[in-house]
Chain A
Amino acid sequence: MNGFIVVFAFVGLFTLGFPVVLALAIPCIIYVLASGLPVDLVAQRTLYALDSFPLVAVPVFLFVGSVMNSAGISKHIYRFADTAVGRLPGGLAQVNIFGSLVFAGMSGSALADIGGIGRIEIDAMKEKGYNKAFAAAVTSASAIVGPIFPPSIPLIIYGTVTGVSVLQLLLGGILPGLLCVASLMLMTAWLAKRRNYPRAARWPTRRELWRDMAPALPALFAPIILIGGMLLGFFTPTEIASVTVVYTLLISSLFYRDLTWAGLYSASMETIRASSAILLIVALAALFGWILSVEQVPQILTDWMLSISKNPYVLLMLVNILLIVVGMFLDSTTAILVIAPILAKPLVMAGVDPVHLGMVVIFNLMIGLLTPPMGLALYLVSDIAGVKMKDVLKEMLPFYVPLLATLLLITYVPWITTFIPRLVFG
């Protein structure tokens, strides 16, 4: 019972506007003191939560996204995407989605996508006469590919808190990421035909394609190095993160020559702030998780869920409904830390593959970035595009269809997630 009081206290404080760190820590510390437990427990649980090598990848991958934006690499990716897919129905909207996929291959954050390449894409779409709200909607919908396709910060955090292999999770994100992009492109093409959106007058010649691809090539190599390194088993995810940063810094300073010291400092500070905010929650959530375990909250929920059904598909549907609701109200990092360890046990006991479950959880929570009242991607994109959130939301409505369809496919066809990890790890 005490475990549930801690959970409700967290929800209450968070809703009142307490920062997540305080909302998590206040009930936990009161619990520790009221139970007469030693204060060492608070310090040790908090500190040892961060004593994890896979978590080192979080700031490092965040830094890649910041450097790409500071060094103007996003511009080159955008230009290449424009030439490559600008002729498809939907023109710049397709460029927007394709650009997000390329960006996703280097950065694991949806916000880095929106704030970087998304900003360029929205401006270009506005110039070509696209509806601003539509441009904002496409940008935010496609940005969620970032945390699905490797590298992915939410998947790294999920793997760390649930003990699932981060490498397998990252590899498992490749096909769902591509599927998500394909479904968004299909919806965009359909909308473009109905609304008669402009597109490039003709397909590019080989020469034109090469002209715009050549400057983007060093950036395009980054995802190849990253995924290749993982597939061949050369590096751990943290080492891959480190290689990607060094590579990004090299191409930014030697090839693109757009990275200034001021830009590097700004990217560093942006990374430090985001990393510290996320990881402080990871640290305090460890104490929260420990209390829930001691109070057998996961066990009680496991028994309850398995009493409803032992069929993994029914349980996965329940998880989808629960997480869509959770994603509307909780920030994704917090949701992963609080919900994932509780949900993982009953689902895995019912026979769901842990890597598959991880992808279902993260995809749900990323859709949560696009749903009010806590849809951060919507807040950010409204701000960048200079449109009201309700207008963006209206234009978002058609995009929920491909996103939910992809979610259902990922949920009920586990193969989409598990194929590549099984191919590599057997």
Chain B
Amino acid sequence: MTAILLILRVVACAMLAGLILTPFAQIIMRGAFDIPMAGAEEMARYMLICLTFLAAALVSLDGGQIKMEEMQALLPERPRWVLQLFIELSGVVLFAFLAYAATATIGRNISSTTATLEMPFLLFMGPLAVGGALLAFANVVLLLRTWQRGRPDDKQTTLT
């Protein structure tokens, strides 16, 4: 578990660095050397996709997904606990479905490639499949934590 989180953090930091440096390198190459980098935009977009889906499990485990629990906090303790278990269970099902949908889509388009960089579809759609699976796993962890606690988590509203 710790190793997975460490890998995710390293990958996410690398993607963030890439997101900053790719457009900057594009400006330098275009402005100073008059050599635009073909595919720089596509690479930046791909890193954005990787960052979003691969880091999403980290966000979920830290309780950082955007939500409002003001109404939920009005419920008595027992129904609130059951509701929280249900939310986490639905997270497991939904993200597992997302991972399945991505995997099925990859299977049907395995020979396709992206427009400029000609990236294989497996690589392009892969972050969604992996990210969906990791999110489902993160929700399993959250579900087990809530179950073992035997009472609801404190009210926690998270917004942007």
Question: Which of B47, B104, B160 is the one whose CB lies under 8 Å from A43?
Answer: B104
Contact A272 B12, beta carbon cutoff 8 Å: yes
Contact B52 A275, beta carbon cutoff 8 Å: yes
Choose among A19, A246, A374 the residue with the greatest number of B CB atoms under 10 Å from its CB. A19
Choose among B22, B87, B100, B159 the residue with the greatest number of A CB atoms under 10 Å from its CB. B159
Number of interface residues of A (CB under 8 A): 61
How far is A399 from B146 in the complex, measured between Cα atoms in Å? 41
Number of interface residues of B (CB under 8 A): 56
Of A173-181, A183-191, A278-286, the one touching chain B: A278-286
How far is A59 from B44 in the complex, measured between Cα atoms in Å? 12
Contact A43 B105, beta carbon cutoff 8 Å: yes
Contact A56 B104, beta carbon cutoff 8 Å: no
Q: Say whether B32 faces chain A, with CB atoms less than 8 Å apart.
A: no
Q: Say whether B154 faces chain A, with CB atoms less than 8 Å apart.
A: no
Q: Say whether A2 faces chain B, with CB atoms less than 8 Å apart.
A: no
Q: Say whether A379 faces chain B, with CB atoms less than 8 Å apart.
A: yes
Known: A50-B48, A276-B59, A277-B65. A43 touches B98 (CB 8 A): yes
Of A237-245, A289-297, A351-359, the one touching chain B: A237-245
Q: Report chain B residues within 8 Å CB of A239.
A: 23-24, 26-27
Contact A39 B100, beta carbon cutoff 8 Å: yes
Q: Say whether A127 faces chain B, with CB atoms less than 8 Å apart.
A: no
Q: Report chain B residues within 8 Å CB of A15.
A: 68, 71
- Nearest neighbor of B127 in chain A, beta-carbon distance: A47
Of residues 330 to 344 in A, which have CB atoms within 8 Å of B's CB atoms? Answer: 331-334
How far is A29 from B91 in the complex, measured between Cα atoms in Å? 12
- Nearest neighbor of A28 in chain B, beta-carbon distance: B94
Known: A60-B19, A239-B23. A20 touches B67 (CB 8 A): yes
Q: Report chain B residues within 8 Å CB of A217.
A: none
Q: Report chain A residues within 8 Å CB of B84.
A: 17
Contact A277 B69, beta carbon cutoff 8 Å: no
Contact B16 A47, beta carbon cutoff 8 Å: no
Q: Say whether A376 faces chain B, with CB atoms less than 8 Å apart.
A: yes
* Secondary structure dominating the interface of A: helix
- Nearest neighbor of B71 in chain A, beta-carbon distance: A15
Q: Report chain A residues within 8 Å CB of B9.
A: 269, 272
How far is A265 from B53 in the complex, measured between Cα atoms in Å? 20
* B66 CB to nearest A CB, Å: 5
Known: A50-B49, A276-B58. A20 touches B66 (CB 8 A): yes
B residues apposed to A, CB below 8 Å: 9, 12-13, 16, 19-24, 26-27, 41, 44-45, 47-49, 51-53, 55-56, 58-59, 62, 64-72, 83-84, 87, 90-91, 94, 97-98, 100-102, 104-105, 108, 124-125, 128, 157-160
Known: A43-B104, A265-B13. 18 other contacts (CB 8 A): A15-B68, A15-B71, A17-B67, A43-B101, A43-B128, A47-B49, A47-B102, A55-B48, A56-B45, A60-B20, A242-B27, A272-B9, A274-B160, A276-B59, A277-B59, A277-B160, A331-B160, A376-B160
